[in-house]
Structure 1
Amino acid sequence: MFDSSNSRPSRPRCVIVGAGIGGLACGLRLAHAGHEVTILDRHAAPGGKMRTLPSPAGPVDAGPTVLTMRPVFENLFADVGERLDDHVTLIEQDILARHFWPDGSHLTLTNDRAVNADAIAEFAGSKAADQFRRFCTDAERLFDAFDAPMMRAPEPSVAALTARVLRDPGLLPRMAPLSNMRGDLRRRFDDPRLAQLFGRYATYVGGHPGQTPALLSLIWRAEESGVWCVQGGMHALARAVADLAQTKGAIVRLGADVARIDVSENRVTGVTLQTGERIAADTVVFNGDPRALATCALGTGVAHVAPQTRTTARSLSARVWTFASTVAGPELAHHNVFFAADPDEEFTAIAAGRMPADPTIYICAEDRGQTRPAPETERFEIILNAAPLTDAQRPDKEAQTCHQRTFPTLARFGLTFTPEPGPEALTTPSGFNRLFPASAGSLYGQSPHGMTASLKRPRARTAVTGLFLAGGGTHPGAGVPMATLSGAHAAAAILKAPIST
């Protein structure tokens, strides 16, 4: 490729719309490969959903909190000749999570299967411990079987997955293809509390346990393999990738709101900002919810991309509190779950678009599990599952109700915060829709419901020449490791694609 203005070789130009972890991972690889990379984001900091909000104790994470699959991040840095540990400090958590139920029972799970089995035996009896061991073995076998042909494959197919099962027919009964997670777990565990606990992993991909395929119980294996917290908060990981991308030559422009992806004869030519500035490009990577393309939020030239997102059901949203406070009550770990008494009622309400009267409440105690003792005033992120918006313009006046259903519920567990946060500390589904346009407030893109839902997500390649996708709304799916893998898929597709000017 040559620049005719000065007859010297020029580099392929790539614009990445969105500085979420998928776009950053893609941009870092492309910059390392010699591309001229410009990363644009409408927000004031990189990270996308890996964002923070201010508090008297410092920035509080207000997005993803659980980091698993460390090799994904080690590979990202290794692919550009760097070491992960030289750029970010990850602290492995001995305690995966503490779990509490309204009847006063509690269970702590660790990163040691044998220790967990002993804890479950004490919690629910020896039979429950045996059931747990079998569940772990099955989840590990399924994870190992589908990691390569599904999660790490840029173009997974029914044929490839079928071939994998045919090589190991014993996978089929473990997949429980005709079951959802809730039904399968209730058959696996006699104790309903354990079925409720492991059913919660459906929400990791934005699903309801009663509608998410039983196969996705393999998510437990990713967590059992190790959970880390990031020194400085989850956003520090995004910042480290952004900084390294800039060291490799990428340009990161924040506060740059893209109005349109420019297309001529079904080929991208660049992007136009809300200010009217135009940036030419040979390739464009959209690191946002693909639904924004299909609904013309980025112009009519890309409206035929990801058409399924216009009609496919959306994944869950959330109501998220971020604040600093002094806490009293049960001893917290970094990750904590306070379960609803009736999980069926909880998810029935969410499916109907209502706020559950008795919600399950997740708490990330950000200053716990670090290398230093937690301060008196700690930073917290509290997450309650919520329905996405059915009408993106619906007024949202739910802060008072959400407060009443969060903090009095926790008080019944003996957990109190002084002071309690005000409405300014709450992000609602409508707030997420404003932060991430055309998402309808959904945090995970398309719904994971249905056995083939994972195969219906948009892929890195699109029908527009030079336009690629990355992020949690594309294959392989939601979550920080999956979004990071999507960036690898997009970069690989671009590096293989012929560039024409």
Structure 2
Amino acid sequence: MSKKAIIIGSGIAGISASIRLATKGYEVDVFEANSYPGGKLSEIEIAGYRFDAGPSLFTLPDQVEELFRIAGKNPNDFFEYIKLPVACHYFWEDGKKLNAYADIDRFAKEVQEVLGEPAGSIKIALQKSSFIYEHLSPLFMHRSLHKWETWTNPEALKSYLKMGKLGIFSTMNEANEKLFNNPKLVQLFNRYATYNGSNPYETPATLNIIPHLEFNIGAFFPKKGMHDITLSLFQLSKDLGVTYFFNQKVEEIIVENKIATGIKTSNETKYADLIINNMDMVNAYKTILRKQKQPKLLLNQPKSSSALIFYWGINRTFQELDLHNIFFSDNYLEEFDHIFKKGSIYHDPTVYVNITSVYKPDDAPKDCMNWFTMINVPNNQGQDWDKLIAEARKNILHKLNRILKTDIEPLIEVEEILDPRKIEIKTSSAQGALYGNSSNNKFSAFLRHANYSSKIKNLYFCGGSVHPGGGIPLCLLSSKIMCEMI
């Protein structure tokens, strides 16, 4: 008789876990409070415009392909993507524009021509990023930090001798100021801290691992949009026999004699051999694990930043814009002080505009564009969000108008807004934080919940709020690490 597993939450890590467990012979049930799978990796459709609702950058596609392969499928038959020729277009208030080409030689040349920074600086920075990845990814991305064997294997021992070169003892900003002469390039590389909701002036320089993913390996785009990651893996899991229960909010994880044995919903009680939590760790302990001993040190850690997103249907095309576009603040330090110290939004925020219709024209009507317009904001601490959103919207429009030399407001045909309050409600993310606990100190990697419970047998964890962290690749890796323990 096959063993049973229950997964709470159908975020991308939960779907991935269901696939891995099904291929191990488990009978898998997934309970989801929403009416749809994917968590943050979902989509919105408004009056002929389609938007990927959440994560917009796709790196490490091999983590998606691996799930098809372990199921005995050819990934190319189910999921297609392209490598981007340009990772991002960057804009500054003084009129400077920079294309971050995927071809590193071309990118280095562009940096030298536009910013006057020696081309060699880019190559050195990406070599350092590759070095960090080579020595830290086996530890922090592919293994549990909470198992003794992680720290005693040969790869770990080799990395200990390199600790001084891995950025553990300096901040990201300090490391980047040593690498580059031009403040704009420092700002560009500091931006990678936002990929896990961190502050580049506080987070350790180990996060300079991220440019390696985007440049040395590459940035990609699924041909059917980011939501196709969810849909293709969701279909794969169902083909493997996984059963989904939507609009089924789990009310409690049943624990008997320190063993997780099942779950309770408003409708039923179900038992299983394994219980996997893909819900935000903090909210899980406050709700479905409220009767259990609380890991207060982890629960009380500062949370990552959140996001304010305007989904705009724009009745015009802009040839100077690409899939990924950044309009930088003139005072990056002050912007992050507002986010992490003042709990507010700076009047000159850095604006990110993602436009999937550049590569997928049917995401917008003819001669139109779908703008996913986002700024980084603090997590929800009870601020007057209606006031903050109104001010931010005005400041974002002014900024875009100045740099693009146009008037955006009359071009907006449709609009929907996602703020930290809605993020918390829709995804059960504590305080609407996008990446769980903050990574703004050198010990942050150790202040994430393990992929298993040390107190309750047969209870496991996956997703962006636990090890190794947030973002699509790390969420997929969290399910892999977890399943390798079972």
Structure 2 counterpart of 1:477, one-letter code: G
The counterpart of 2:40, out of the listed 36, 39, 49, is: 49
Residue matched to 2:171: 180
Equivalent-residue separation in structure 2 for 1:171 and 1:165 (angstroms) = 10
- Asked if residue 433 in structure 1 is aligned to residue 459 in structure 2, the reply is no
Q: Kindly report which structure 2 residues correspond to 1:363-402, keeping only aligned pairs within 5 A, or say none.
A: 363-370=353-360, 375-391=366-382, 396-402=386-392
Q: Kindly report which structure 2 residues correspond to 1:10-409, keeping only aligned pairs within 5 A, or say none.
A: 10-125=1-116, 127-155=117-145, 160=151, 167=158, 171-224=162-215, 225-273=217-265, 275-295=266-286, 297-304=287-294, 306-329=295-318, 331-351=320-340, 352-370=342-360, 375-391=366-382, 396-409=386-399
Equivalent-residue separation in structure 1 for 2:184 and 2:228 (angstroms) = 35
Equivalent-residue separation in structure 2 for 1:110 and 1:140 (angstroms) = 18
Residue 83 (structure 1) shift: 2.2
Unaligned runs of 5+ in 1: 1-9, 495-501
Equivalent-residue separation in structure 1 for 2:333 and 2:385 (angstroms) = 27
Residue 210 (structure 1) shift: 0.4
Q: 1:163 to 1:176 in 2, by over 3 A?
A: farther
- Asked if the contact 2:51/2:363 (under 8 Å) is kept, the reply is no
Aligned length: 480
SS across alignment from 1:447: coil
Equivalent-residue separation in structure 2 for 1:416 and 1:84 (angstroms) = 43
Equivalent-residue separation in structure 2 for 1:287 and 1:420 (angstroms) = 39
Equivalent-residue separation in structure 2 for 1:157 and 1:140 (angstroms) = 25
SS across alignment from 2:315: strand
SS across alignment from 1:96: strand
Q: 1:395 to 1:139 in 2, by over 3 A?
A: closer
Structure 2 counterpart of 1:247, one-letter code: D
Equivalent-residue separation in structure 1 for 2:19 and 2:251 (angstroms) = 24
- Asked if the contact 2:47/2:414 (under 8 Å) is kept, the reply is no
Q: 1:123 to 1:488 in 2, by over 3 A?
A: same
Equivalent-residue separation in structure 1 for 2:169 and 2:289 (angstroms) = 41
Q: Kindly report which structure 2 residues correspond to 1:446-461, keeping only aligned pairs within 5 A, or say none.
A: 446-461=437-452
SS across alignment from 1:107: strand
Residue 407 (structure 1) shift: 1.3
Q: 1:328 to 1:87 in 2, by over 3 A?
A: closer
Unaligned runs of 5+ in 2: none
Structure 2 counterpart of 1:346, one-letter code: E
The counterpart of 2:462, out of the listed 470, 474, 494, is: 470
Q: 1:396 to 1:15 in 2, by over 3 A?
A: farther
Residue 217 (structure 1) shift: 0.7
Structure 2 counterpart of 1:260, one-letter code: E
Equivalent-residue separation in structure 2 for 1:346 and 1:23 (angstroms) = 34
- Asked if the contact 2:313/2:415 (under 8 Å) is kept, the reply is no
**% of aligned pairs identical?**
25
Structure 2 counterpart of 1:481, one-letter code: P
Structure 1 counterpart of 2:259, one-letter code: R
Residue matched to 1:497: none
Q: Which moved more, 1:198-207 or 1:347-356?
A: 347-356
Structure 1 counterpart of 2:9, one-letter code: G
Structure 1 counterpart of 2:473, one-letter code: P
- Asked if the contact 1:142/1:171 (under 8 Å) is kept, the reply is no
Structure 1 counterpart of 2:359, one-letter code: G
**Could you give the per-residue CA deviations for residues 366-395 of structure 1, whole angstroms, max 9, x where no partner exists?**
11134889741222211100101224x976
Residue matched to 1:5: none
Equivalent-residue separation in structure 2 for 1:303 and 1:430 (angstroms) = 27
CA RMSD of aligned residues (A): 2.4
Q: Which moved more, 1:159-168 or 1:397-406?
A: 159-168
Residue 166 (structure 1) shift: 6.1
Moved over 6 A (4+): 371-374
Q: Which moved more, 1:432-441 or 1:165-174?
A: 165-174
Equivalent-residue separation in structure 2 for 1:364 and 1:398 (angstroms) = 22
TM-score of the two chains, using structure 2 as the length reference: 0.93
Equivalent-residue separation in structure 1 for 2:391 and 2:254 (angstroms) = 43
Structure 2 counterpart of 1:469, one-letter code: F
Residue 78 (structure 1) shift: 1.3
Residue matched to 2:400: 410
Q: 1:25 to 1:302 in 2, by over 3 A?
A: farther
Structure 2 counterpart of 1:186, one-letter code: E
Residue 481 (structure 1) shift: 0.6
Residue 203 (structure 1) shift: 0.5
**Could you give the per-residue CA deviations for residues 309-366 of structure 1, whole angstroms, max 9, x where no partner exists?**
3210100101011232224556111111000011011111112101110000011101
Q: 1:467 to 1:308 in 2, by over 3 A?
A: same
- Asked if the contact 1:394/1:430 (under 8 Å) is kept, the reply is no
TM-score of the two chains, using structure 1 as the length reference: 0.90
Equivalent-residue separation in structure 2 for 1:150 and 1:259 (angstroms) = 32
Residue matched to 1:498: none
